[in-house]
Structure 1
Amino acid sequence: MPFFSNKQLNYLNAHYGLRAMGWEMCSMFTLAYLYKQGLSLKLTLLVYAAVLFSRTLTRPLAMLCCLKKGVHWTLTVGTFAFAMRYPAMLPIDGLTWHLIPFIVVSGLADVLYWVSYHNYFASIGDEADRGSSVGVRDAIATVVAVVGPLVGGILLSIDKFYAFTMPFVLTLVAVLPLLKTPSLPPPVPATREERKRVDHFGFVVFVGDGLFYQAGSIWPLIVFMLLGESYQNFGFILALAAFFRAMGSMVFGRLIDKGKGRQICYIGYGMHIAILTVRGFFAYSVPAVIACDFFAAIAYCFSMTGLMTAVYNATKRASHPLYFTYYTELGWDVGAVSSMLLAALIVGLGFDVRWGLGLSVAGAVLSVATLARWYTRERKRRRAGTSAAA
């Protein structure tokens, strides 16, 4: 497999795996933790909307850091900031001022990390093996995600201090592989013409993904309540879903490299829409939850690999890759914040929180429609290149 010969990418994947291990120990527990700490369901959703909105407010800082200090420097600092979000969760106890540091640090960590990470991954990867590379990375992340929720659930059941200290330490350790990756020259600011001509594909597809992913995060909260608010049982269900997901990422990545990206997106998002419908109307027992998570994990192998392969290739081809990433991530903020605000409105109006899963369906529809157009355009571009070479 030629993509394993890229040592820079291997170190970056090692970094990503360590950071993902810490994240998986806490990420799916976040809404459940806020709810368990005394916030109402509506306030839980509104607080997380505030976290996501703080990403938008601090996004210019991430761009400034990348331009002044470089993408690699920003990625390193973003990893340190990512670690700080875990101790910020420790003092949360209901609707108190302790939520403010959590909101600010989480938003800042997200924006510093993801703007630089996506741009860096796109810069050092090879376009010809992009699908396989994304598949390998996602396989690594999902393997550690099998262990993460199990450990996180057990530690939260024992003492939240240990539950947040371990991901804090793991994320700090994730800085070490970055020391083996090269720095890139600081990019020049985007010109007015480059900003004007930026491809809107990334923004639109990430609006869809923000809606799809963040509204979909309501499901783990529903499962948590269904399991009697037990962190340990909840962690087991999350780990089982991650195990299912880990089995397919590399296979589907190779299929994308062979030109099957559009078909993979149709299958993945089509499955997601069907599963979200079943979750909303029929999944009221543990066996039903496990069945839904099994098929959702398979769908994830299709959809995420198809999505990120397209985004990374579009980033590398952009006239100003950093600005393209900045603009694309802004789309995710729009979708994610909207999903949490609308979900809070649904709950506030007295409807079952499961109706919020409909927002995730809307995001999936927008994502797959946008990706289908991109992969169709990509196929035409490849054919034109082949004809010109002949």
Structure 2
Amino acid sequence: MQVAHLPHNLNTLYLPKKDLMHLFWGGVVRRMAIILLGLFSAIYVYETFVGLGLTSQLALILVLSFFVIEQATRLVALIFAENLSQKIGFKGTIWASSIPFFLFIPAMILAKGNPFLFFFAAIFYGMQSSLYWWGYHGYFIKRGDTEHFGLSISEAGFLETFAAVATPFFGAVIVSLLGFPLLYFLTGALVVIALFLVGRGDEERQRHDVTFGGVLILIRRLKSISLAYVGSGGEGMLYVTLWPLLLYFIFGQLVSMGEIVSLSVLVSSLFSLAVGQWVDKQGVRSVIRIGTPLVFISWLIKGLNRSFSAFVFADSFWNFGERMVVYPLNALTYKKALEGKSTAKAILFREVNIIFGSFFAISLVMFFVTIGFDLSSFIIIAAVMSLMPLIAYYKRRI
């Protein structure tokens, strides 16, 4: 693989080949759409059910049920994604993810008048997520440079940060002034742009079949590494889905929620590239050892102090720490794929564990809400799950 290196004194950047940059830029635009959906979908579903006269507790349970269905669908759809990538390639699988996505958009909009459509919307969203990430990770592994996986991941994340800085506040203003339907139309337009940026051609395909049974055996053999992905996936899922909803409950307006998320991303974005270089030079262990406690501390602050400034500080802490956990785990997936010469097995191992963590976390919160706890109980669950990557660290499996 041909790469361009900057002079030694400027060698903080690694420039991948053009086709991988297309994947990065497509990811940037798609990230804008996913940020908008992640921040506002839970609020939209909640407001819809409350508007029908349901109690706050029952509306919350239905919101959580939406995400349980989504994650269950995502797990099942992995089988389809794995088979599809053998036939149409990884980029083709990314393009195929747009079909359920464009079914998800009208289902969400029309669910305002017919809430039963939320069930189908959750299924469509789970399908598109599974297809997209299978294609994205597969193509990244095939076209990436093993010596620079950490920096490549952080550069992709750094580019996505540009989208993440302004998008939350911008989305909050759109919803406040023009309503949720326009927001969903906007996400559809962004996904179209993202697809054209990713492009077609220069296809990479999955060459070898992989089974769930084989991956489950691998999960049992690598329990501590599996728990690292489970913990990271579950904690991340709670942040993406329930943290915005809690901010909305506390401040009572969308704009304040958007301001907190945007400001925290801006502060932490300065460290994105440094994390990736650190992964490449120091290895996964050193970075996760520091990042995991940062994520845990951020949840403690969120649970103890509910002021605007405290939330911005804690969320900045979280964004920085989260990069120091997720980037190394992604780099580990990519390197194991090359070492084991099985892209599909490495991706399936990662995705199954992350989905299981997400499913478990949401289901546990739903149980607590059902027996009378309020939504903020998820902070405790997120804090505990954020520590799980340290199990693999102390057992020296990463």
What's the TM-score once normalised by structure 1's chain length? 0.88
Q: Name the CA distance, whole Å, in 2 between partners of 1:231 and 1:64.
A: 41
Q: CA deviation at 1:168?
A: 0.6
Q: Could you say if the C-alpha distance between residues 83 and 136 of structure 1 is closer, same or farther in structure 2, counting changes exceeding 3 Å? A: farther
Which residue number corresponds to residue 290 of structure 1? 312
Contact kept in structure 2, 1:269 and 1:364, CA below 8 Å: yes
Which residue number corresponds to residue 204 of structure 2? 184
Q: Name the CA distance, whole Å, in 2 between partners of 1:92 and 1:65.
A: 30
The percentage of counterpart residues that share the same residue type is 20
Instruction: Name the aligned partner's letter for residue 100 of structure 1.
Output: F
Q: Name the CA distance, whole Å, in 1 between partners of 2:179 and 2:133.
A: 30
Q: Name the CA distance, whole Å, in 2 between partners of 1:191 and 1:170.
A: 34
Is 1:330 aligned to 2:341, yes or no? no
Q: Name the CA distance, whole Å, in 2 between partners of 1:207 and 1:241.
A: 25
Is 1:319 aligned to 2:330, yes or no? no
Is 1:99 aligned to 2:122, yes or no? no
Is 1:12 aligned to 2:23, yes or no? yes
Q: Name the CA distance, whole Å, in 1 between partners of 2:128 and 2:263.
A: 28
Contact kept in structure 2, 1:38 and 1:94, CA below 8 Å: no
Contact kept in structure 2, 1:26 and 1:152, CA below 8 Å: no
Q: What does 1:191-210 align with in structure 2 at a 5 Å threshold?
A: 198=218, 201=222, 203-210=226-233
Q: Could you say if the C-alpha distance between residues 224 and 316 of structure 1 is closer, same or farther in structure 2, counting changes exceeding 3 Å? A: farther
Which residue number corresponds to residue 247 of structure 1? 270
Instruction: Name the aligned partner's letter for residue 190 of structure 2.
Output: L
Q: Name the CA distance, whole Å, in 2 between partners of 1:14 and 1:265.
A: 27
Q: Could you say if the C-alpha distance between residues 95 and 268 of structure 1 is closer, same or farther in structure 2, counting changes exceeding 3 Å? A: farther
Which residue number corresponds to residue 325 of structure 2? 303
Q: Could you say if the C-alpha distance between residues 240 and 84 of structure 1 is closer, same or farther in structure 2, counting changes exceeding 3 Å? A: farther
Which segments of 5 or more consecutive residues in structure 2 lack a partner in the other structure?
6-13, 51-58
Q: CA deviation at 1:356?
A: 1.7
* Worse-matched range after superposition: 195-204 or 36-45: 195-204
- SS of match in other structure, 2:97: helix
What's the TM-score once normalised by structure 2's chain length? 0.87
Q: Could you say if the C-alpha distance between residues 31 and 194 of structure 1 is closer, same or farther in structure 2, counting changes exceeding 3 Å? A: closer
Q: CA deviation at 1:94?
A: 8.0
Is 1:90 aligned to 2:109, yes or no? yes
Q: What does 1:156-167 align with in structure 2 at a 5 Å threshold?
A: 156-157=175-176, 158-167=178-187
Which residue number corresponds to residue 369 of structure 1? 391
* Worse-matched range after superposition: 181-190 or 117-126: 181-190
Q: Name the CA distance, whole Å, in 1 between partners of 2:179 and 2:244.
A: 21
Q: Name the CA distance, whole Å, in 1 between partners of 2:117 and 2:213.
A: 44
Q: CA deviation at 1:285?
A: 1.9
Contact kept in structure 2, 1:83 and 1:172, CA below 8 Å: no
Instruction: Name the aligned partner's letter for residue 320 of structure 1.
Output: S
Q: What does 1:342-357 align with in structure 2 at a 5 Å threshold?
A: 342-357=364-379
Q: CA deviation at 1:366?
A: 1.6
* Worse-matched range after superposition: 78-87 or 290-299: 78-87
Q: Could you say if the C-alpha distance between residues 191 and 369 of structure 1 is closer, same or farther in structure 2, counting changes exceeding 3 Å? A: closer
Deviations 1:217-269 (A, max 9, x none): 422211111111x2222222221122123211101111111124322211111
Instruction: Name the aligned partner's letter for residue 62 of structure 2.
Output: L
The CA RMSD over aligned residues, in Å, is 2.4
Contact kept in structure 1, 2:229 and 2:329, CA below 8 Å: no
Instruction: Name the aligned partner's letter for residue 233 of structure 1.
Output: S
What count of residue pairs does the alignment treat as equivalent? 374
Deviations 1:52-88 (A, max 9, x none): 1111222211112112222221122114534543333
- SS of match in other structure, 1:71: helix
Instruction: Name the aligned partner's letter for residue 224 of structure 1.
Output: Y
Is 1:58 aligned to 2:77, yes or no? yes
The equivalent position to 1:34 in structure 2, one of 45, 57, 69, is: 45
Contact kept in structure 2, 1:119 and 1:315, CA below 8 Å: no
Q: Name the CA distance, whole Å, in 2 between partners of 1:94 and 1:335.
A: 32
Is 1:263 aligned to 2:283, yes or no? no
* Worse-matched range after superposition: 132-141 or 205-214: 205-214
Q: Name the CA distance, whole Å, in 2 between partners of 1:193 and 1:227.
A: 47
Deviations 1:249-306 (A, max 9, x none): 10111111112432221111101111112212x1222122122112222212322222
Q: CA deviation at 1:4?
A: 0.8
Q: CA deviation at 1:192?
A: 10
Q: Name the CA distance, whole Å, in 1 between partners of 2:194 and 2:99.
A: 9
* Worse-matched range after superposition: 187-196 or 208-217: 187-196
- SS of match in other structure, 2:372: coil
Which segments of 5 or more consecutive residues in structure 1 lack a partner in the other structure?
379-390
